[in-house]
Structure 1
Amino acid sequence: MKHSLFSVSRRAIGLLLAGALSPMTFAQTPSSDGYVLDKVVQVSRHGVRPPTESNEKLLTKVTQRQWPTWLVPLGNLTGHGYTGAVEMGRYRGAVLRHAGLIAQRCPDAKHLLVHASPLQRTKATAQALLDGMFPGCGLQPTYVAGKQDALFQANEMSFAALDAEKAKAQILKALGGSVEAAQKRYAPFEETLREVACLPDVNCAYGHEPWQLVQNEKGRFSIKGLSAGANMGEVFRLEYSQGLPLEQVAFGHARTAAEVSSLMVLTKAKYDYLNDIPYIASRGASELMNQISLALKQGTPLAPKDTTGAPPDVPLMLLVAHDTNISYLRTMLGFSWKLGDYIDNNIPPVGTLQFERYKEVKTGAYFLRIAFEAQSMDQIRDLTPLRGTAKPLSSDFKSANDCRATRVGLLCPLKDAIATVDHNIDPTALTPYRFSPMP
C-alpha cells in the first residue's frame, strides 16, 4: 500500500511538471487595464493531512469505531497533499510571471521570502509550493526552531493572552446566549453525524455529550462536545481530498464534494463560535496582520519612517500557516466568501489569502486587491492540473468604498484598503519580530 501511494504521487508530479511546460492562457497581461502588479503577500494553509493525533484519539473514543488508516504520521502532510501543493505553486508561479512580478530565472533573497509555521505539514507544504513555483531552483523555506512562532501560534503565547471573561462573553453572544441553546439548534446535525459514524448496536457516545465551554492550559477556548463533530466533518473532507476510496470517505456516506460539505455544518459552527470572534481573532492574529501591513506599505508613501521590525522588502512574501490563522485574518478584515461546494468561509488545504498591490501606470497611485483562492475539493482529490479553464476558485474582498472592477480583480485604493487591514490590529498583542534570511 505504501509503495502504491507514492507511485501515484510520482506519476501525478510527472504529469504536473509536464503540464508546466505547456503554454498557459491568462486573461490578465503585465499591465492589464493600466495596472502593474508590484508586490504580493500571500498566506496559505498547509495541504492535505491525516487527522492530528488528538483528533484521532477523540473520534475513536466517541464513536468506538476504527477510522481509516493513513500512510504518514498523524497530522503530517501526505504525498497526495504535497503533489496538490506543488500544482498550486506551479499555477501561482505562472500567474505571477505573466504579471511580471517574478522572473523566469531562480530568485534570490532580494526577491522572495517563504516562511512557514514550524510544524511538519506547514514546512513540507512551503517546500512543495516552492518546488512548484521555482522547479529545479533548490529553494527552501525558513521557519523557527521549536514548536511556536509568534506569527502563527500567537494564540498560545503569553504576549497575546486572552482576557478570559471578555472572550467568554463574546463567545456566548455568538452562541445566542448559551451553549445549551446552541446545542439544541444543532441537534439534527449531531444526529446525522451519529448515523454516519456510529455502528448499530454499538455503545457510541457521540451526540450524547452536553456541550461545555472550556479553556485549556494554553488559554484557548473550545466547546467540548462540539469539537468531536467539528473534527469529524474536517476529517471527512480530508479523506475525500486525499483520494481515499469512496467507500471509506465518511464510512461510505459521502460520495461527492457536496455530500462531504453537508456533513461539515458543525465544522462551520466551531469557527463561527470560536475563531470568528472579533476579540479572539484580533488577539490571535494581530502579529501576523501587522507584518502583512508593514510589507504592503513598503516603498509607498504609507511606509513608516522607522522600519524596525518590518519584514524584508521583497516582491513576493509567502507565509504558510494554518486554517486558524487565516480564519482570524478573515474575521479581522470582515471578509466572507463562498467557493464552489465548500461551506461558507471554508479554508481548504492550500487555500490562500492573497494581498496583491498594484500601481496604476498613468497616475502612480497604489491599489490593493485582497482575495481568497483555493482548489476545489475535486481538483484536490483528482490532482487536476490548473491550466486552461481548470483554475482555482476565487473570491475578491471589497476593502474600501472606492474600489474598481478590473481585469486583474477588484482593486481598492491602497490607503483606504490599508485602513481596513490595520483597523483591528491590537497594539497590545504585538511582539518584536524578525524574519531569518532565505537559505
Structure 2
Amino acid sequence: MKKRMPLFSLSALALALPLSLQAAEAPAAPAEGYQLEQVLIFSRHGIRAPLVGYGDILAESTPHTWPVWKTEGGLLTPKGGEVEVLFGKYLRTWLAQTEILPANGCPTEGSVFVYANSLPRTIDTAKSFVSGAFPDCSLTVNHQEKIGTMDPTFNPIVTAEVTETFKQKAIDSINSHAGEGGIEGLNKRLEPNYNVLQQVMDYGQSKVCTEKKTCSMAAQPNEVIIEQNKEPGIKGPLRVGTGASDGFMLQYYEGYPLNEVAWGKITDAKQWQQLEEIKNLYHETLFGSSAIAQNAAAPLLRFISAALNGTPDESNKLAEQAHKAKVAVMVGHDSNIASLLAAMKTAPYELPQQYEKTPISGKIVFQRWHDKKADKDLMKIEYVYQSTDQIRNATPLTADAPPMRVTLEIDGCKTDANGFCPMDDFKTAIASDLKGGE
C-alpha cells in the first residue's frame, strides 16, 4: 500500500492565492448524464465557547486575562447557530439544483435523515442546519437519549486493548508519522510557531516562566497518552498551543473586536497560519497514524459504510434509516473528521481561505452519482466549508458568495478529472479500512 504524506500541510501560498486558482466553484446543477442519488454530509459542529474555560495551564501561560464568554463553555453560541442556518439554506439550494430534493416544502418521510452526537453543541448545530435547510418542517434530529455523554458512533476512542505491545506500536507509528525525530523532532520544528505564540501570550511574563522557570515551549517534552476506551491525547506544549490557538480562532469567528482577539496581538495572516499549524499538527500527530486512526474511527466509518454501501452495522440501528434516506446529515467533532480522513488514507489537501484543517461547521460531503451513459455508480467526496471571514461575518451563502469546496481523494479510490471514482472501488477501499481497524 502506498504511503500517504501528512494530511495537514499548511502553505502560506495557499492562503495568499486567489480562491479561483485553488478551490472549485460552488456546487451547481449536475452535468448532463449524471444523476445524484445519495448524499451523506458529515459536519463539524458550529462556533462554540471554549470547552472548559481556559484551564489553569492556559491561565498561567499568560499575564493577560482570557475573555469571559456569554455562552457557557462547550455550548454552541447564538452566532454559531446563525452561521449553521446559513449553511443549511445554501445546501438546500444545491440539493434542489441536483434534483435529489425539491426546492421548496418539506421532504417526504424518510428521505432526509439527521443524526448528531449526544452533546448539546452537536445537537443544536444539527437543529440549526435543519432550520436553515428545511424551515418549518418537523424533522427529527436523532441522538442518544442521555445528553451530555458521547455516542459510541461519534466517540474517537481507542477501543483496542492497550497492551504494552499495542501502545509501543501506536507510539512508533505516531513518531514515524511525525517525521524526523518523531514527536520531539516535530516539537523542535515547531519552535518558530511556539515563538509566535509566546510573543502573543507574553509568555515570558507568565507564571509558568517567572515562577516555574519554564520559559521555552519548544524545550518542553510532549507525552503521548494512549489508554483503552479513552480518546488519545498529548500532554505538553503541543496541547497547550492547541488550546490557545483554538481559543484565539474562536474569538475571531465569534466576532470579537480585532483589538480584543488575542489581546490585539495577532496582526497578520502569517501569524494566524503559524498559530493554527500547532493545532492542525496536534490532530495530525494523534490521528495521522494508521494504528490510532483506523481503531478510533472504526465505529463512525462502519456507520458511514452502512449508510452508503448497505453493509451491516449491528451496533447502531439508525444505520438502516441513513441508508434508506436520500440525504443523511451527521454532526460531530473535529476529532471525528481528523480520524475519519486519516482512516480512509486521504491524500494531502489544502483548504483555501482557511487556517483550520477541520474548520468550524465544515462538512465532508459524500456523493453517490449515477453515470447514465456508462450505467455505473460513482463516488465523489468534497470538503465544503466557509472561509474564516465568511464565518466571522456570518456571510449569507449564495451562488455569488458560495462556500469553499475542495475535492478529496482516498487511497484505493482514484479520482478522475471531475472528482469521481468508481463506487465499487470506494466500497473496496472502505472495507479494507474497516478491516484494518479491527
Structure 1 and Structure 2 fold alike (TM over 0.5): yes
User: In 2 relative to 1, CA 109–165 (structure 1 residues): closer, same or farther, beyond 3 Å?
Assistant: farther
- Greater CA deviation, 53-62 or 241-250? 53-62
1:373 counterpart SS class: strand
What's the counterpart of residue 190 of structure 1?
194
- Residue number in structure 1 paired with 2:107: 107
What is the alpha-carbon distance in structure 2 between the residues aligned to residue 110 and residue 226 of structure 1? 44
TM-score in terms of structure 1 length: 0.82
What per-residue deviation string (whole Å, max 9, x for no partner) do you get for residues 54-92 of structure 1?
A: 644431132243112211001111111110111111111
3-state SS in 1 of match to 2:197 = helix
Q: Are residues 367 and 291 of structure 1, via their aligned partners in 2, closer, same or farther at CA, if it must alter by over 3 Å?
A: same
Q: 1:311 aligns with which of 317, 320, 330?
A: 320
Q: Is the 8 A contact 2:84 2:128 kept in 1?
A: yes
Map 1:275-314; keep pairs closer than 5 Å. Answer: 275-298=287-310, 310-312=319-321, 313-314=324-325
The equivalent of 2:74 in structure 1 is 75
Mapped to 1, the partners of 2:371 and 2:314 lie a distance apart of: 26
Contact 1:116/1:319 (CA < 8 Å) preserved in 2?
Answer: yes
Q: How many equivalent pairs are there?
A: 395
How many Å separate the matches in 1 of 2:252 and 2:73?
16
Residue 363 of structure 1: CA displacement?
Answer: 3.4
2:64 corresponding residue in structure 1? 65
Greater mean deviation of Cα atoms: 208-217 or 230-239 = 208-217
Residue 141 of structure 1: aligned partner = 141
For residues 165-223 of structure 1, the C-alpha deviation after alignment (integer angstroms, 9 at most, x for no partner) is 22111122233344443322222221211110126644344644722314266542313
Aligned letter for 1:148? M
1:174 corresponds to which residue?
177
C-alpha displacement of 1:389: 2.2
Three-state SS of the structure 1 residue aligned to 2:330 is strand
* Structure 1 residue 150: Cα displacement: 1.3
Provide, for residues 138-179 of structure 1, a one-character-per-residue CA deviation record: whole Å limited to 9, x for no partner: 3341111330211111416x4686832221111222333444
- Determine helix, strand or coil for the equivalent of 1:115: strand
Alpha-carbon distance in 2 for matches of 1:189, 1:200:
15
Q: In the alignment, what sits opposite 1:262? A: 274
Residue identity in the other structure for 2:170: A
1:231 equivalent to 2:230? Answer no
> Does the aligned pair in 1 maintain the 2:383–2:406 contact within 8 Å?
yes
Gap change, CA 1:93 and 1:184, over 3 Å in 2: same
2:31 equivalent in structure 1: 32
Equivalent residue for 2:5?
none
**Bigger shift: 275-284 or 197-206?**
197-206
d(CA) in 2 for partners of 1:177, 1:426? 30
Q: Which residue of 2 aligns with 1:411?
A: 420
Distance verdict in 2 for CA 1:367–1:170, change over 3 Å? same
**Using the alignment, how far apart are the partners of 1:148 and 1:414 within structure 2?**
31
The 1-side partners of 2:290 and 2:437 are apart by 15
Secondary structure class of the residue paired with 2:153: coil
Superposed displacement of residue 28, structure 1: 3.1
Q: Secondary structure at the match of 2:40?
A: strand
TM-score (norm 2): 0.82
Paired-residue identity, %: 26
Gaps of 5+ in 1: 1-24, 430-439
SS at match of 2:367: strand
Within 1, Cα distance between the matches of 2:409 and 2:278? 28
Change (3 A) 1:202 1:145: same
Of residues 418, 424, 430 in structure 2, which corresponds to 1:421? 430
Q: Supply the distance in 1 between the matched residues of 2:313 and 2:279 (Cα, whole angstroms).
A: 44
| Aligned Cα root-mean-square deviation (Å) | 2.7
Retained in 1: the 8 A contact 2:38–2:369? Answer: yes
In the alignment, is residue 215 of structure 1 matched against residue 219 of structure 2?
no
Structure 2, gaps ≥5 residues long = 1-24, 210-214
1:355 aligned to which of 351, 366, 377: 366
